[in-house]
Amino acid sequence: MMTQAFYTGISGLQAHQTAIDVLADNLANTSTPGFRGYTGEFASLFEQSVATPGNSPIDNTIGVGTRIDATVMDLNQGSLLLSDQSTDIAIDGDGWFGIEGNQDTLYTRAGNFTFDANNDLVTADDAFFVLGTRGNNIENGVLTSTITDLPLGDVASQEKLRFPKTLSYPAEPTSEANFFGNIGTGDEVTVISASAVDPQSNKNQLKLTFTKSAVQNALGTRWDIQAVTQSLDGNTIYDTRTGIVEFDERGAIASNSLTSIDNNGANVSINLGSDFTGITAIDNVPVSVSSSANGTIGGDLVGYDINPNAEVIATFTNGMQSSVGKIALFHFQNDQGLTRITGTRFQQSSNSGEALFFQDANGRNILGANVTNFKVEGSNVRLDVGLTQLIVLQRSYDANSKSITTADQMMQKALSMDA
């Protein structure tokens, strides 16, 4: 029995020392973003059966010695901490960021990312590449299409999120100009202007001039209309067109012979509306006109940011934005089965299962959790809880040490009695 006391005490010292080491690592990383704490789980090293009468619900074994059966990851959410970087993002819910370094894919909850000198999205501390879906809307330094909602690709297709240092937003020439309002029935000349972008990314002026015709309709009014496209300073005229627009007795537009004009190489459709939806000529109603036109001037890249949907957004000098990539959130059937590489880095294993994406009702890959930018997830280790656990473990360690001392004293006494 005294020998058993030695074994019990020594195994207790080893097990509790391991548990203290695990807890010490937790406490040392209370300020590490994305850190996941671990807890040591104890089990009996051996068990001794004890005879008990009948079918007693009481356990009929006594543990002899102890061991650390497993160290279990704490999956509780860490606190979301404010950041001043739009590239810092935090997962609120289940999921892992995928990162790549040295050809190995690892997974982490630490979302403190940044763009490096090559405009790769990388981890801020050790420059591991962040994995995601690229928009494939960039070709030869030019944005080929504007994406507002980029879906995730397949798990196997996730790649490094690399973007060009220089990127241009191409000019979108104006193709249609719409005009609205009432020009009245008097003899006053009415001028309406609209902004029109040409293929060279110049913002020009499209000006319509309404002059009452010398010959009028029996019912309604007839107007001569002149359209001019010119530079904003008025020094360059690109095209001039004329036509006639007629209104019925109600003041609604009845016909229009001027339908388009050239804008320095781009054809612009002139839409005066129909019935009462565009230009009208109504008496006793104040003259008031306006216009709208499509088209966008070109722009150069200002920078990249990450939005709350985990999308990488390119912003341009013309005020336009487009998604060019999306950070992936990976999921596992058993997060506890992930192999720990460092305090914040993990690798999939046969116990965790392969990485997968959640899907919506339509079968589209989705993040499966909320993502918040300008925040990072802190460690999920609570300092107060950890210190309390440390006190318990230290006292248990002391108790096991005391049991060895007591067993040694009993052994010495037994040997002296024999002498």
In tens digits, the chain (419 residues) has pLDDT values of 556 666 676 776 777 777 787 788 888 888 889 998 888 777 766 666 555 555 555 555 566 667 777 778 888 999 999 999 889 999 999 999 999 987 789 999 999 999 998 889 999 988 999 999 999 999 999 999 999 999 999 999 999 999 999 999 999 999 999 999 999 999 999 999 999 999 999 999 999 999 999 999 888 999 999 999 999 999 999 999 999 999 999 999 999 999 999 999 999 999 999 989 999 999 988 999 999 999 999 999 999 999 989 999 999 999 999 999 999 999 999 999 999 998 899 999 999 999 999 999 999 999 999 999 899 999 988 887 878 887 887 787 777 777 777 776 777 777 777 55
**Kind and range of the H or E element at 6?**
helix 2-28
Q: Based on the domain organization, do 217 and 366 belong to the same domain? A: no
Q: How far is the C-alpha of 225 from the C-alpha of 175, rounded, in Å? A: 20
Q: Based on the domain organization, do 238 and 345 belong to the same domain? A: no
Residue 51 in tokens: 């005879």
Q: How far is the C-alpha of 126 from the C-alpha of 412, rounded, in Å? A: 57
Tally of helices (H runs) and strands (E runs) in the chain:
2, 33
**Per-residue model confidence (pLDDT) at position 56:** 55
Domain tally for the chain?
3
Q: Based on the domain organization, do 147 and 160 belong to the same domain? A: yes
**Domain limits for position 245:** 176-293
Last residue of a domain, one of 244, 271, 293: 293
Q: Based on the domain organization, do 182 and 289 belong to the same domain? A: yes
| C-beta of residue 196 within 8 angstroms of C-beta of residue 174 | yes
Last residue of a domain, one of 245, 267, 293: 293
* Intra-chain end-to-end CA distance of the chain, in Å: 20
Contacts 24+ apart (CB under 8 A), 257-261: 258/225, 258/227, 261/206, 261/227, 261/228, 261/229
State pTM to two decimals.
0.76
Q: How far is the C-alpha of 368 from the C-alpha of 332, rounded, in Å? A: 12
Q: How far is the C-alpha of 130 from the C-alpha of 164, rounded, in Å? A: 16
Last residue of a domain, one of 293, 326, 361: 293
Q: Based on the domain organization, do 333 and 390 belong to the same domain? A: no
Q: Based on the domain organization, do 281 and 221 belong to the same domain? A: yes
Q: Based on the domain organization, do 235 and 315 belong to the same domain? A: no
Q: Based on the domain organization, do 184 and 276 belong to the same domain? A: yes
Q: Based on the domain organization, do 287 and 316 belong to the same domain? A: no
Pairing of strands 168-169, 237-247: unpaired
Q: Based on the domain organization, do 156 and 133 belong to the same domain? A: yes
Q: Based on the domain organization, do 307 and 340 belong to the same domain? A: yes
Amino acid at 169: Y
Q: Based on the domain organization, do 228 and 317 belong to the same domain? A: no
